[in-house]
Amino acid sequence: MNESASSRRALALCYGGMMCIAIGTSLIPVFLTSFSEAFGGETGLTDEQLGRISAIMFMGFTAGILGGGPLADRWGAKGFALLGAVLTMGGLAVTAAAHSYSSLLAASVLLGLGAGVLDMVMSPIVSALRPDRRTEALNWLHAFYCVGSVATVLFCSAGLHFGVSWRTITLLLIAAPAVVLAGFVPLRVPALVHEDAERTPLRRLFMSAGFVVGLAIIFLAGAAEQGIVQWLPAYTERGLGYSKATGGITLAAYSVLMIAGRMLAAIAARRVRAIPLMHVACALLAACIMAACFAPKGIALAACILTGWAVSCLWPTTLGLVADRFPHGGASMFALLAGLGNSGCIVMPWVIGFVAEHSRLNLGLATAAACPLMIIALLALLRQEET
C-alpha cells in the first residue's frame, strides 16, 4: 500500500526529531574534556562531576518523557513535538551561554527535557503510522538517532579540530530543532490509538508479567547503550591513550555501526523473531565490553567501536516487542518504556564514573557488561511467559 504524502512527511520529521534527540545526548560526551577544562579550574572536573553532567541531562530527559506521555494521549502528539523542539533549542542556547558548572548542569536539564519530550512522541507517532510493521519501523526510526549521533560527533569534532569554540558549535546546532519545529507546524499528526480501539490503561499493563519484564529489559538496554556512549571518547583518550580527536572519531564509528545494526535489524525483523535476535546481540555486547576494557590497546579500540553494532537493536526491538503485545498502549506506554530506559541512562554513566573514581576507568566501564548478561536472563523469563 502506497503511503500518503502526509504520512511520508510525518515519518521524515520523526526521523529529524530523532536526530535532534541525538544532539542532546551526543553533544555532552564530545565536549566532556572541554567542559572539564572550562569549568574545573586548573585541576579540571573529577570523574564523578563529569559523570554527573550526563546523569543530570538524563534526569531531565526522563522527566520530559514521563510527564508528557499521559498528556500526549489526552491532547494529541503534535503540540508535544513542537514543545520538544522549542525546549531543545533553548537547552542548546543556555549550554552555549553557561559560565559555571552549576549553570552547565541547569542547561543540561533543559536540554534533557527537550530531548525527552521529543523521544516520548516520536515512537508512538511512528507506531501509529506503521501499525502492521512496528518492530521494523521502530528500528528504522531509531537508526536515525544514530545518524544524528554521527552527524553531531563529526560536526563537533571537526569544529574543535579547526579551533572553533564549543560554545559557537553548540549555537550552530540550534538549526536542527528549528527545522523540525517549522516542519511540524503545518503537519497533521495521526491519533496515537486507533479511533475504533480504547487505550489500554497502565494499571492493566502492569498486571502482565511480560510488560514488567519488558520494562526491566529496556532499563538495562538504556544503561548499556548510554553507559558506553557517554564515556567512550573520554575512555579512548584517557584509558587507551589516544588523542581527543580520535575519541570523537571512535564515537562516530560506534554510531555508524549502530546505524547499520538497526537497519539490518529492521530487515531481519521480517524473518527473525525478536528474542533470538536480542540473545545474539547481548552475547556479542558482553564480549565486546570486556575486550574493550582488558584487551591490548588496538584490540580494545576495535572492541569499543564494535559495541555499537552489538547494542544497536536492543532498545528499538524491545519497544517493538512490547508494542506488538500491547498495540493500544498509546503514548503513556511508550513514555513509561522510554522513562525506564532512560533511568538506565541516568544510572550507568554515574556508576561508571563512581567506580572509576575509586579504581580505574577501564574497571568502571567494565561494569556495563552486567547489563547484557541480565537481559539474557530476562529474555528467558519472557520466553517462558509466552509459553
Give the range of the structural domain holding residue 379, as residue numbers without chain letter: 5-386
pLDDT grade, residue 130 (50/70/90)? confident
pLDDT at 1: 38
pLDDT at 2: 44
pLDDT at 279: 93
- Give me the CATH number covering residue 191: 1.20.1250.20
Average pLDDT, the chain: 88
Distance of CA 362 to the CA centre of its chain: 22
Q: How deeply is 341 buried, as exposed, middle or buried, from its count of CB atoms within 10 A (0-12, 13-18, 19+)? A: buried
If you ran DSSP here, which 8-state letter would residue 272 be given?
Answer: S
Determine the Cα–Cα distance for residues 201 and 207; give it in Å rounded to an integer: 10
Q: What is the mean pLDDT of residues 89-101?
A: 93
Cα angle 238, 365, 357; round to 5: 65
Question: How many structural domains is the chain composed of?
Answer: 1
pLDDT at 386: 60
> Per-residue pLDDT tens for 35-85?
888 888 777 888 888 888 888 998 898 888 888 877 887 777 888 999 999
Spatial contact of 95 and 104, defined as CB atoms under 8 Å apart: yes
Determine the Cα–Cα distance for residues 23 and 107; give it in Å rounded to an integer: 14
Q: How deeply is 245 buried, as exposed, middle or buried, from its count of CB atoms within 10 A (0-12, 13-18, 19+)? A: middle
List all residues 6 or more positions away from 226 whose beta carbon is below 8 Å from its beta carbon.
25, 54, 58, 344, 345, 348, 349
- In this prediction the pTM is 0.78
> CB under 8 Å, gap of 24 or more: what pairs does 302-307 form?
304/228, 304/232, 304/235, 304/236, 304/240, 304/250, 304/254, 305/250, 305/253, 305/254, 305/257, 306/257, 307/228, 307/254
If you ran DSSP here, which 8-state letter would residue 296 be given?
Answer: -
pLDDT grade, residue 193 (50/70/90)? low
Q: How deeply is 14 buried, as exposed, middle or buried, from its count of CB atoms within 10 A (0-12, 13-18, 19+)? A: buried
Q: Which residue has the higher pLDDT, 135 or 313?
A: 313
Q: Which residue has the higher pLDDT, 286 or 239?
A: 286
